[in-house]
Amino acid sequence: MGEEGGSITLLCLTASSGVPLFCRSMGAPSRHQLPFSVIGSLNGVHMFGANLDVLLMAACTANTHVVWRVFHNSITLIVLSSEEGASDFALGRLLDNTFSAMVLILGLEELVNVRNIERLKKDLRECLEAFVAAAESRFGCLVAGGRLALATEPWWQLAPQELLLLSWLVGLLPPHTARDYPIYLPHGSPTVPHRLLTCQLLPGLEACLICGPSPALHTVETELVPRFWKPLLEPLQACVSPQPHGLPHGTTLPPGVLAFLLIHREQRSSQSSMQPPGSVGEALSPRRCARALRHFYALVAARYFPWEGSPAPPQEPFQAGFPHHARHCYVVSATHKAYAIHTPQHQLFLLLAPHVPTFALRPLATRALQRLTGDTTC
């Protein structure tokens, strides 16, 4: 390959976010360096097809043959060839050999990042439980960027309001390497104070404990943190760093989604994300997008998807006589559309661009929920 008059360009990108890892070329010098916009377009058209459940494998122009291949949902390889007689088989074999060469040098686990992350998260849960037990407590968590990243089971059993307020408190306190802060739990212990101990492991990452009179903060900071967390500091950053735009590793959303809020009902946790500005339209600024999603959530939660134990929502005239409860609802406005799904395990709230057809909202939202959770009960 690479004879006179032809050229081959090989691109390697991350499958989840499309970040270029390397670019290699052979042949005509003028074709050695592809503009970033071209690289982005080549990867974007492949991801666009994947969002519509279409597998784009190869394409031809007047003078170039292009082949795409994704390996282990982690690495995307793209090859462009202007050589005469280039075939899907030969170019596909080149991509297979390229990935195998990467495995030869780096090992598969190094390339398939999601496996490393999940394994590290498992190790962190074991480390967190040991750290909490050594501190004579049952309640411990890691807070990354003001968000709850990892917690012991007793911590998750706190009232939802307490979980939210504790995360906010840790994020709003003045930066410090360690803190010993008295707190009351509004539902669990509104009259007897507890101690909230926090220790900074990395910038933006803190280990938190709820405990009684012991241990001393100095003991936690100087003895327990180095013993349990120092060996994990280097890989820890990769694990707690948020995925691009708040999405799980390797997950993409259907075209037209501006923002989402996903509630895990059994876990009493949630995740949300706004897509990057300009990716699906310019009708709403990020601030207006967030406000619109909050207003839609407030409307739906109050009228259609009430939580167990909450007061019965006011019924609208069209609801009279219907024995069932709403499982889907949507709103259409001039600047956006919104759709919500309620299942036994999840609630998903989507904000969508106004150009998304109304008739397509339900299948699009269902597909988004399945990609985010694997929930097929909607």
Q: What is the pLDDT along the chain (378 residues), one digit of tens a residue?
A: 444 457 889 988 878 767 777 888 887 554 456 777 788 788 888 887 877 778 888 988 888 899 999 998 888 999 999 887 778 888 988 999 888 888 877 777 777 754 555 566 677 788 889 999 999 999 999 888 777 878 898 998 888 888 888 988 888 888 889 999 999 999 888 899 999 999 998 888 889 999 999 999 999 999 999 999 888 776 676 655 555 455 655 567 788 888 999 988 877 777 888 776 555 445 678 888 888 999 999 889 888 887 655 555 555 665 555 566 789 999 999 889 999 999 988 999 999 999 899 999 999 999 888 888 876 666
Residue 140 lies in a domain: yes
Residue at a domain's end among 111, 144, 171: 111
Nearest alpha carbon to residue 16 among 52, 43, 53, 54 = 43
* 118 and 222 fall within a common domain: yes
DSSP letter at 223?
I
* 15 and 60 fall within a common domain: yes
* 167 and 107 fall within a common domain: no
Asked whether the beta carbons of 128 and 155 are under 8 A apart, the reply is no
Q: Is 5 exposed, middle or buried (0-12, 13-18, 19+ CB in 10 A)?
A: exposed
Q: What is the CATH number of the domain that holds 343?
A: 3.30.450
Residue at a domain's end among 187, 211, 240: 240
Give residue 114's pLDDT: 47
* 131 and 233 fall within a common domain: yes
Distance CA 222, CA 58 (A): 57
Residue at a domain's end among 111, 128, 144: 111
* 106 and 124 fall within a common domain: no
Give residue 163's pLDDT: 87
Residue 245 lies in a domain: no
Distance CA 150, CA 240 (A): 9
* 122 and 232 fall within a common domain: yes
Residue 177 lies in a domain: yes
CA 151, 207, 230 angle in degrees (round to 5)? 115
Residue 292 lies in a domain: yes
* 164 and 103 fall within a common domain: no
Residue 261 lies in a domain: yes
* 160 and 73 fall within a common domain: no
Query: What residues does 199 pair with on adjacent strands?
Result: 178, 207
* 124 and 105 fall within a common domain: no
Asked whether the beta carbons of 108 and 99 are under 8 A apart, the reply is no
Residue 259 lies in a domain: yes
Specify the 3-state DSSP secondary structure of 278.
coil
* 274 and 339 fall within a common domain: yes
Alpha helices by DSSP H, listed for the chain, are 36-51, 88-106, 108-111, 113-134, 153-156, 160-172, 217-219, 225-229, 233-240, 286-303, 361-373
Specify the 3-state DSSP secondary structure of 84.
coil
Give residue 103's pLDDT: 82
Give residue 3's pLDDT: 44
* 62 and 171 fall within a common domain: no
Give residue 239's pLDDT: 55
Distance CA 268, CA 139 (A): 16
Nearest alpha carbon to residue 61 among 40, 86, 39, 43 = 86
Q: What is the CATH number of the domain that holds 170?
A: 3.30.450.30
Full domain range(s) for residue 320: 253-373
Distance CA 262, CA 350 (A): 9
Nearest alpha carbon to residue 337 among 265, 246, 270, 254 = 254
Give residue 350's pLDDT: 94
The beta strand positions in 279-370, using DSSP E, are 328-332, 337-342, 346-352
Residue 247 lies in a domain: no
- How many structural domains are present in the chain? 3
Query: What residues does 144 pair with on adjacent strands?
Result: 147, 205
* 148 and 214 fall within a common domain: yes
The beta strand positions in 51-188, using DSSP E, are 58-60, 65-71, 75-81, 139-144, 147-151, 178-185
Q: What is the CATH number of the domain that holds 45?
A: 3.30.450.70
Distance CA 251, CA 125 (A): 23
Specify the 3-state DSSP secondary structure of 82.
coil
Give residue 210's pLDDT: 95
Residue 229 lies in a domain: yes
